[in-house]
């Protein structure tokens, strides 16, 4: 990876990488194709999950700009907010989180990621869903307030899904190519890469990485919010921004270079159906791997449903990115209890 041909921007080493690529043997035999898990849930403890790969690049820029505090935003139980807080604490930076809750006057108790945010020293500003629509404006005003105290702030949009953040998953594809080289068939065997899609930066980086490295891979995002049209546009925008900013010499065509598999949002963002939780339970018991209810559980639910309809839908080899989110199970304890 040191002699990489890709023009990486400066990066901090914050994630435990390379992460393992592990076969899901029993599930593969049941569903048909070979399914491998890229264990990005193992990128660390406090910083676990996919966001830290993006933050390695984003926080390098923050330090380079002389920032003292990082401001970011997300849902109340945001994994991105928790990973950002942990990384900031490691780097000696302040962290201010702008978090969306139904009623800012009655914020949720410190549980799961909120508990970790608090432990790690985040300042939390609670805002309503309506205010969240203007999150960019709110973050800008928070930055101005910090500037008046003499503290330079660095702003990270939702999920760290910017052209710079996408480098985290370009780099993950390069890492994956190294993993595949060790397997029968190597990097020349066609594969399908599947990932849960929330703010879009992971899928953007995966699409760019596959294109830049010329891997024979389909890239499929399974959206956990909004719809296909939204993500074709949003992920396309991040990709074209990165191609332009870093002069990558590639063009990502939405729908061709990456696909969005819609239909598995279920009851809504971060709301679980019993069938989705039952799949998380079954996979835990059969493979000893725990998915999360908000992202990977829904995406794997979608993957399994498609493979049941057509075992050949994604070819003979599938790499499913386990993007983390274990803490998301704790707020679901009540609902889970009924199926344990
Ligand atoms: C944020 C997140 C995703 C989605 O990644 P995006 O880059 O936002 O699309 C998937 N899984 C988990 C566990 C996440 O926290």
Q: How far is the CA of 61 from the centre of ligand 1 (A)?
A: 21
Q: Spot the catalytic one: 48, 78, 161, 199.
A: 78
Q: In b/e form, how buried is each residue of 145-177, taking b as 16+ CB within 10 angstroms?
A: ebeeeeeebbbbbbbbbbbbbbbbbbbbbbbbb
Active site residue 78: yes
Kind plus residue range of the DSSP H or E element containing 279: helix 274-287
- The answer to whether residues 166 and 201 touch, using CB atoms and an 8 Å cutoff, is yes
CB of 327 within 6 A of ligand 1: the answer is no
Per-residue pLDDT at 175 exceeds 90: yes
Per-residue pLDDT at 323 exceeds 60: yes
Q: Angle at Cα 318 formed by Cα 301 and Cα 82, nearest 5°?
A: 60
Whole-number pLDDT of residue 3? 64
Per-residue pLDDT at 216 exceeds 50: yes
Assess whether the previous peptide bond of 18 is cis (omega < 30° from 0): yes
Per-residue pLDDT at 1 exceeds 60: no
Looking at the chain, the whole-number percentage of residues with pLDDT higher than 90 is: 99
Nearest partner of 163 among 196, 204, 221, judged by Cα: 204
Output the residue whose Cα is nearest ligand 1's atom 15: 79
The answer to whether the Cα torsion of 180, 184, 185, 186 is positive or negative is positive
Mean pLDDT on 264-293: 98
Kind plus residue range of the DSSP H or E element containing 222: strand 217-223
CB of 323 within 6 A of ligand 1: the answer is yes
Give Rg (Cα) of the chain.
19
Mean pLDDT on 27-51: 98
What pLDDT digit, counting tens, does each position of 72-130 carry?
A: 999 999 999 999 999 999 999 999 999 999 999 999 999 999 999 999 999 999 999 99
Kind plus residue range of the DSSP H or E element containing 260: strand 259-261
CB of 48 within 6 A of ligand 1: the answer is no
- The answer to whether residues 47 and 60 touch, using CB atoms and an 8 Å cutoff, is no
Q: Is the pTM of this model over 0.85?
A: yes
Whole-number pLDDT of residue 54? 99
- The answer to whether residues 303 and 222 touch, using CB atoms and an 8 Å cutoff, is yes
CB of 77 within 6 A of ligand 1: the answer is no
- Which atom of ligand 1 approaches the CA of 198 most closely? 9
CB of 49 within 6 A of ligand 1: the answer is yes
Q: How far is the CA of 119 from the centre of ligand 1 (A)?
A: 22
Average pLDDT in the chain: 97
Mutation pick for ligand 1 pocket among 324, 326, 332 (CB with most ligand atoms within 8 Å): 324
Mean pLDDT on 44-71: 98
Mean pLDDT on 161-170: 99
- Which atom of ligand 1 approaches the CA of 204 most closely? 7
Whole-number pLDDT of residue 213? 98
- The answer to whether residues 143 and 155 touch, using CB atoms and an 8 Å cutoff, is yes
Name the CA dihedral angle for 290, 296, 302, 308, rounded to a multiple of 10 degrees: -30
Whole-number pLDDT of residue 182? 98
What pLDDT digit, counting tens, does each position of 128-145 carry?
A: 999 999 999 999 999 999
Q: How far is CA 26 from CA 30, 124, 197, 282, 313, in A?
A: 6, 43, 26, 12, 19
- How far is 55 from 165, CA to CA, in rounded Å? 7
Residues with Cβ within 8 Å of 287's Cβ and at least 6 positions away in sequence, in order, are: 24, 25, 26, 27
pLDDT confidence of 257, banded at 50, 70, 90? very high
Mean pLDDT on 217-244: 98
CB of 196 within 6 A of ligand 1: the answer is yes
Per-residue pLDDT at 48 exceeds 70: yes
CB of 254 within 6 A of ligand 1: the answer is no
Q: What share of the chain is helix, strand, coil (3-state, %, to 5)?
A: 45, 15, 35
Other Cβ atoms closer than 10 A to 246: 18
Output the residue whose Cα is nearest ligand 1's atom 3: 198
Mutation pick for ligand 1 pocket among 58, 261, 300, 325 (CB with most ligand atoms within 8 Å): 325
The answer to whether the Cα torsion of 203, 52, 73, 100 is positive or negative is positive
């Amino acid at each position: 990876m040191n002699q990489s041909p890709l023009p990486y921007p400066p990066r901090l080493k914050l994630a435990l990488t390379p992460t393992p690529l592990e076969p899901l043997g029993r599930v593969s035999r049941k569903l048909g194709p070979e399914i491998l898990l890229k264990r990005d849930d193992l990128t660390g403890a406090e910083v676990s999950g996919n966001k830290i790969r993006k933050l390695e690049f984003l926080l390098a820029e923050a330090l380079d700009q002389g920032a003292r505090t990082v401001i970011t935003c997300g849902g109340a139980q945001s994994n991105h907010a928790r990973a950002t807080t942990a990384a900031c604490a490691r780097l000696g930076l302040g962290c201010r989180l702008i978090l969306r809750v139904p009623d800012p006057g009655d914020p949720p108790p410190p549980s799961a990621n909120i508990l970790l945010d608090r432990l790690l020293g985040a300042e939390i500003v609670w805002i309503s869903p309506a205010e969240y629509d203007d999150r960019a404006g709110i973050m800008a005003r928070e930055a101005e307030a910090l500037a008046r105290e003499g503290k330079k702030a660095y702003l990270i949009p939702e999920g760290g899904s910017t052209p710079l953040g996408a480098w985290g998953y370009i780099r993950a594809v390069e890492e994956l190519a190294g993993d595949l080289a060790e397997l029968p068939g190597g990097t020349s065997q066609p594969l399908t890469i599947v990932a849960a899609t929330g703010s879009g930066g992971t899928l953007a980086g995966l699409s760019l990485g596959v294109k830049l490295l010329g891997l024979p891979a389909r890239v499929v995002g399974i959206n956990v919010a909004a719809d296909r049209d939204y993500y074709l546009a949003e992920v396309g925008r991040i990709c074209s921004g990165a191609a332009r900013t870093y002069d990558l010499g590639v063009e990502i065509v939405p729908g061709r270079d990456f696909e969005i598999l819609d239909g598995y949002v279920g009851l809504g963002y971060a709301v679980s159906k019993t069938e989705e939780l039952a799949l998380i339970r079954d996979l835990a018991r059969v493979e000893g791997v725990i998915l999360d209810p908000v992202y990977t559980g829904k995406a794997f639910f979608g993957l399994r449903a498609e493979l049941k309809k057509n075992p050949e839908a994604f070819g003979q080899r599938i790499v499913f990115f386990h993007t983390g989110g274990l803490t998301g199970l704790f707020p679901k304890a009540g609902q889970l209890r009924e199926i344990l």
